[in-house]
Amino acid sequence: MTQQSIGLTGFGGYIPRLRLQRKSIAQANAWVAPNFLGKGKGERSMANWDEDSVTMAVEAARDLLGPDDDRSHVDGLFFGSTTMPFTDRLNAGIIAAALTLDEKVRAVDVASTQRAGTSALLRAITSVKAGETKHAVVLAADHRKTRAASAQELDFGDGAAALSVGTENIIAKYLGGTSLTVDFVDHFRGTGEEFDYNWEERWIRDEGFTKIVPRAVKAALEDSGTNGSDIKHFILPTTFGTKFAEQLAKASGIAPEAARDTLAANCGETGAAHSLVMLVHALQTDVKPGDKIMVVNFGGGCDALVFEATDKLATQAGKRGIVGSLAAGHPETNYMKFLTFNGLVEWEKGMRAEQDKKTALTTLYRNEDMIMGLVGGRCTETGVVQFPRSRISVNPNNHTVDTQEPYKFAERKAKILSWSADFLSASMNPPNHYGMVVFDEGGRIMMDFTDIEQGTVDSGMEVRLVFRIKDFDEVRGFRRYFWKAVPITNSNAKTSQAAE
């Protein structure tokens, strides 16, 4: 009996729009860390104040799944991250709600290791192979806090990647792989701690990467029946640079030129997501049908997976992915904004911010599809759509009762009807932009705006909707999510075009 092929069937990616210039970090900290001045080159991705690992994963998943809001085929969701916003709440469940997936979806969080992304991918492959799921989505995202004036502040970045795993329309066939578990502690973050504690770099490089990675590569090559000389693309996230990845490739019997760019110059290392971020970037750029790809991820051991691209890869040409996200970056030079967005400085928010933001969890549950999935209603008799949905239609000429069916707004085209830029209300990034958004196919919603610069908003502008943090309940440690509108200006038009 011939074994059924399993592999990647699609990809998506998301890198936040803001790109903090490393020169700004170096100059701000030159008084205490003058050695940073020589490292102040390029830029790192920077999440907006209302973004976290969950919201970035949602955006990567939307890129993967496309604008079709029928996602009933997805029966597995595996989310890998070391910076999940909730320690005891299914973070993958939040993502599933935002994507309006069926409640029967198998949703799993994979955490506590830099290998979370590849571990989630291996778990999805195993699930599909066993017949537990047919169409699994793998998401990886990280948004790590760093101490000011630390090397990690320069090296790290924020981002997410998405892959789908199945047995049909495979774009990259899974040939085999391995997972080594070695309790080599290069860094750690204890319970309740905000920052990683990092060990000495030379020890990590010489005793960790140099000795553990080649063992994993060798085992993966054997499991996949592949020779090192056959690998055309060698993916290894490391803050030690692409040259170091080339050295490890050579030591493992793989051509040094197969080592992929680590995207350090214009993105930074996105933690548990970075192996998949680099994989998506490779699939979008240089990979050709027949090319063999090795994905290696170090952390508490090492994962190594081997794929072979197929001619179906061309079907992904329209995706935004990592390439589109990187192209749509907006330079940020305000280092204080970076510190503020990441909660690294105490600042005066004003009396208007002094309010209890307790979330009524009963209301959230009863209206979950409306709040998390932006699902409104459509009258089955008149065709009128509305948000929120209600028992009685808003149609002024025919107030039908109990005739509404669920109607998803998140992927619909919309424009700004009216707007305001408010300096008086409490805002993490003043002025607070909000306004009335009207949808091309009917319906209107009053929404907050995000990812926008002052003076670039106007009525009639097209918007795209994004899933973001609405506000924080700092007293209870809860964060509330909802959808926001991103006006399509010149600075983010590339993102919108790529998404379409």
| Domain presence at residue 365 | no
Using the 3D structure, point to which of 307, 341, 375 is the last residue of a domain: 341
Query: What Cα–Cα distance (Å) separates residue 188 from each residue in 112, 157, 207, 302?
Result: 9, 18, 17, 16
Three-state SS at 271 = helix
- Check whether residue 192 and residue 316 sit in a common domain: yes
| Domain presence at residue 471 | yes
Whole-angstrom Cα distance, residue 391 to residue 342?
A: 42
The string of pLDDT tens digits covering residues 323-362 is 999 999 999 999 999 999 999 998 888 777 778 888 999 9
Whole-angstrom Cα distance, residue 292 to residue 274?
A: 19
The string of pLDDT tens digits covering residues 10-65 is 999 999 999 999 999 999 999 999 988 888 999 999 999 999 999 999 999 999 99
Phi, psi of 197 (to 5 degrees): -105, 120
The string of pLDDT tens digits covering residues 279-292 is 999 999 999 999 99
Instruction: Give the residue among 279, 351, 300 at the shortest CA–CA distance from 121.
Output: 279
The string of pLDDT tens digits covering residues 188-198 is 999 989 999 99
CA atoms within 13 A on the CB side of 185: 7
Q: In what order do the strands lie in the sheet with 404-408?
A: 385-386, 375-379, 404-408
Which residue range is the domain that position 491 belongs to?
Answer: 411-499
Residue 500 has pLDDT above 90, yes or no: no
| Domain presence at residue 232 | yes
Phi, psi of 202 (to 5 degrees): -65, -40
- Check whether residue 417 and residue 311 sit in a common domain: no
The string of pLDDT tens digits covering residues 178-189 is 999 999 999 999
Listed as own residue / partner, the contacts of 123-132 with beta carbons closer than 8 Å and 24 or more positions apart are: 123/78, 124/76, 124/78, 124/163, 124/165, 125/6, 125/165, 125/174, 127/76, 127/78, 127/165, 128/6, 128/76, 128/165, 128/166, 128/167, 129/6, 132/76, 132/106
CATH code (residue 40): 3.40.47.10
Q: Are 254 and 201 in contact (CB under 8 A)?
A: no
Residue 490 has pLDDT above 80, yes or no: no
- Check whether residue 194 and residue 320 sit in a common domain: yes
- Average pLDDT over all residues of the chain: 94
- Check whether residue 331 and residue 435 sit in a common domain: no
- Check whether residue 334 and residue 417 sit in a common domain: no
Region 386-415: what's the mean pLDDT?
Answer: 95
Total count of domains within the chain? 2
| Domain presence at residue 399 | no
Per-residue model confidence (pLDDT) at position 424: 87
| Domain presence at residue 148 | yes
Residue 496 has pLDDT above 50, yes or no: no
| Domain presence at residue 400 | no
Per-residue model confidence (pLDDT) at position 426: 83
Using the 3D structure, point to which of 306, 341, 376 is the last residue of a domain: 341
- Check whether residue 327 and residue 426 sit in a common domain: no
CA atoms within 13 A on the CB side of 254: 31
- Check whether residue 305 and residue 449 sit in a common domain: no
- Check whether residue 65 and residue 190 sit in a common domain: yes
Per-residue model confidence (pLDDT) at position 332: 97
CATH code (residue 422): 2.40.50
pTM: 0.95
Per-residue model confidence (pLDDT) at position 492: 53
DSSP assigned state of 397: T
Per-residue model confidence (pLDDT) at position 494: 46
| Domain presence at residue 384 | no
The string of pLDDT tens digits covering residues 233-267 is 999 999 999 999 999 999 999 999 999 999 999 99
- Check whether residue 207 and residue 80 sit in a common domain: yes
Buried residues in 341-351 as b, exposed as e (16+ CB within 10 A): bbebeeeeeee
Residue 498 has pLDDT above 50, yes or no: no
Three-state SS at 457 = coil
- Check whether residue 323 and residue 223 sit in a common domain: yes
Using the 3D structure, point to which of 341, 369, 384 is the last residue of a domain: 341
Out of 16-25, 444-453, 490-499, pick the least confident: 490-499
